[in-house]
Amino acid sequence: MSTTIGVNADRQTAAAILARLDRLPATRHIWTMVTLLSLGGMFEFYDLFMTGYVVPGLVKAGLLTGVAIGMFSGPALFVASTFFGLFIGTFVFGFVADRYGRRAIFTFSMLFYCAATLVMSFQETGFGVCLWRMIAGIGIGVELVTIDTYVAELVPVHMRGRAFAFNQCVQFCVVPIVAGISYWLVPQTPLGWDGWRWVVAIGAIGALFVWFLRRAIPESPRWLLTHGRLADADRITAQIEAAVRRDLGGAALPEPAAHEVDDLSARGSFSEIWQPPYRTRTIMLMVFQFFQTFGFYGFAAWVPTLIAKQVGINLGASLQYAFIIAIANPFGPLLAMTFADRFERKWQLVGAAICIAVFGGLFSQQSTMPLLILFGVLITLSNNVLSYSFHSYQSELFPTRVRARAVGFTYAFSRISTVFASFIIGFFFANFNGTTGVFGLIGFAMLMVVLSIGIFGPRTSNLVLEKISH
Q: If you average pLDDT over residues 99-124, what whole number do you get?
A: 93
Rounded to whole angstroms, the Cα distance separating 352 from 202 reads: 33
Long-range contacts: 184-193, Cβ < 8 Å, 24+? Answer: 186/53, 186/54, 186/56, 186/57, 186/60, 187/57
Alpha helices in 312-434 (DSSP H): 315-326, 331-336, 345-363, 369-396, 403-431
Rounded to whole angstroms, the Cα distance separating 199 from 85 reads: 20
pTM over 0.75: yes
Q: How many CA atoms lie within 13 A of 389 on its CB side?
A: 33
- 419, pLDDT greater than 90: no
- 308, pLDDT greater than 70: no
pLDDT band of 320, cuts 50, 70, 90: low
Give 200-256 as a DSSP string: HHHHTTHHHHHHHHHHHSPPPHHHHHHTT-HHHHHHHHHHHHHHHHHHTTTPPPPPP
Phi/psi at 69 (nearest 5 deg)?
Answer: -135, 115
For the chain, the average pLDDT equals 89
pLDDT band of 305, cuts 50, 70, 90: low
pLDDT band of 290, cuts 50, 70, 90: very high
Contact (CB, 8 A) for 241 and 17: no
- 397, pLDDT greater than 90: yes
119-149 tens-digit pLDDT: 999 999 999 999 999 999 999 999 999 999 9
Provide the residue type at 470 as one letter: H
434-466 tens-digit pLDDT: 778 888 888 999 999 999 999 999 999 999 999
Q: If you average pLDDT over residues 181-187, what whole number do you get?
A: 84
pLDDT of residue 262: 87
Q: What one-character DSSP code corresponds to residue 190?
A: G
Q: Is it true that 1-249 and 268-470 share their CATH fold?
A: yes
Rounded to whole angstroms, the Cα distance separating 352 from 149 reads: 22
Rounded to whole angstroms, the Cα distance separating 236 from 228 reads: 14
Contact (CB, 8 A) for 19 and 257: yes
Please count the other Cβ atoms lying within 10 Å of the Cβ belonging to residue 330: 18
Pairing mode of beta strands 72-73, 68-69:
antiparallel
Rounded to whole angstroms, the Cα distance separating 412 from 430 reads: 28
Rounded to whole angstroms, the Cα distance separating 249 from 205 reads: 36
Question: How much of the chain exceeds pLDDT 70, in percent?
Answer: 93
Q: If you average pLDDT over residues 98-123, what whole number do you get?
A: 93
Contact (CB, 8 A) for 371 and 341: no
Contact (CB, 8 A) for 458 and 281: yes
426-436 tens-digit pLDDT: 788 778 877 78
Q: If you average pLDDT over residues 227-254, what whole number do you get?
A: 96
Contact (CB, 8 A) for 354 and 367: no
- 208, pLDDT greater than 80: no
Contact (CB, 8 A) for 17 and 225: yes
- 343, pLDDT greater than 70: yes
Please count the other Cβ atoms lying within 10 Å of the Cβ belonging to residue 91: 18
67-104 tens-digit pLDDT: 888 878 888 888 889 889 999 999 999 999 999 999 99
pLDDT of residue 327: 82
- Give the class (CATH, top level) of 1-249: mainly alpha
Give 345-367 as a DSSP string: HHHHHHHHHHHHHHHHHHHTT--
54-70 tens-digit pLDDT: 888 888 889 988 888 88
pLDDT of residue 121: 95
User: Domain 268-470 sits in which CATH superfamily?
Assistant: MFS general substrate transporter like domains (1.20.1250.20)
Q: Where are the domains of the chain?
A: 1-249, 268-470
Length of the chain: 470
